[in-house]
């Protein structure tokens, strides 16, 4: 993964860094010489991550709960002594269902984690980032943040909201030197997308194999992206090489033009 010298010594918080893309990003920052703190709602995943990445700090936290976010930042201060980069990675897939079948509680939970969680983490990060040498916020959106996605309306709505949050914060914080960008992964191969594919197959009546093929064919490259693809984009956007990049929606999706 990318090892830009400007990443060395950065103090980085990755939410939902216990597994999946978050863990790959945390490992990439650590290997580049950054000091990394991760949170995760899953204590077992967090323990495994800390065992897998040398020097990784972390705590259990629910980003949708402000008291939990405040407690997390107190631990970030103790472990890192400040913050240079916030990676707002925590998110849930949300329900897979047609609009008439959605439950209110599933919609609310999706928005709470995917949108409110990013608001809360940014809110508590800002006064720390104002004291940083190279401050930036990376908000994880999705290809579903600029495309419609049938059967995934709650998720897509939440990821469109992340783009609006990102562009608004980039304007709000730009004069203070704080850069804010969104990263929009396409379908990222791994357990999470495989669970979504299985759920979508169940809703549509199609086979898992045909839904998988549909996901792969959405991109011009004809394949899903990897967690390392996404991590490299986040590392670049946090580095000095991206010093003039802010307010952007950075797609890492193999040129996805439609979602099925």
Nearest partner of 140 among 171, 113, 105, 178, judged by Cα:
113
What's the CA gap between 102 and 199, in Å, rounded?
A: 14
Q: Is 215 a catalytic residue?
A: no
Q: Could you list the beta-strand ranges (E) of the chain.
A: 11-15, 35-40, 57-60, 85-88, 136-140, 179-185, 249-252
Q: What is the distance between the alpha carbons of residues 148 and 229, in angstroms, rounded to a whole number?
A: 23
Q: Are 83 and 36 in contact (CB under 8 A)?
A: no
Of 29, 37, 73, 155, which residue is the catalytic one?
155
How many other C-beta atoms lie within 10 A of the C-beta of residue 155?
Answer: 24
List active site positions.
155
């Amino acid at each position: 993964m990318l090892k830009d010298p400007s990443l060395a010594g950065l103090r980085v918080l990755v939410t939902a860094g216990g597994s999946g893309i978050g863990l790959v990003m945390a490992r990439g920052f650590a290997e580049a010489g950054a000091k990394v703190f991760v949170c995760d709602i899953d204590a077992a995943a967090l323990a495994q991550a800390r065992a897998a990445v040398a020097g990784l700090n972390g705590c259990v936290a629910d980003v949708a709960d402000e008291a939990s976010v405040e407690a997390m930042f107190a631990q970030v201060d103790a472990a890192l002594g400040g913050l240079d980069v916030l990676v707002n990675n925590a998110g849930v897939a949300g329900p897979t269902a047609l609009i008439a079948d959605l439950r209110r509680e599933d919609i609310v939970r999706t928005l709470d984690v995917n949108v409110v969680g990013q608001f809360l983490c940014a809110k508590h990060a800002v006064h720390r980032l104002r004291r940083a040498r190279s401050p930036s916020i990376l908000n994880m959106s999705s290809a579903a943040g600029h495309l419609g996605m049938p059967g995934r309306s709650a998720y897509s709505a939440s990821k469109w909201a992340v783009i609006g949050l990102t562009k608004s914060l980039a304007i709000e914080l730009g004069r203070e030197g704080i850069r804010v960008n969104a990263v929009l992964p396409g379908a990222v191969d791994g357990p999470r997308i495989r669970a979504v594919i299985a759920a979508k197959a169940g809703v549509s009546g199609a086979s898992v194999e045909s839904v998988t093929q549909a996901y792969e064919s959405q991109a011009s490259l004809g394949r899903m992206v990897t967690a390392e693809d996404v991590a490299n984009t986040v590392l670049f956007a946090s580095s000095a090489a991206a010093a003039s990049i802010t307010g952007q929606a950075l797609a890492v999706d193999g040129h996805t033009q439609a979602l099925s």
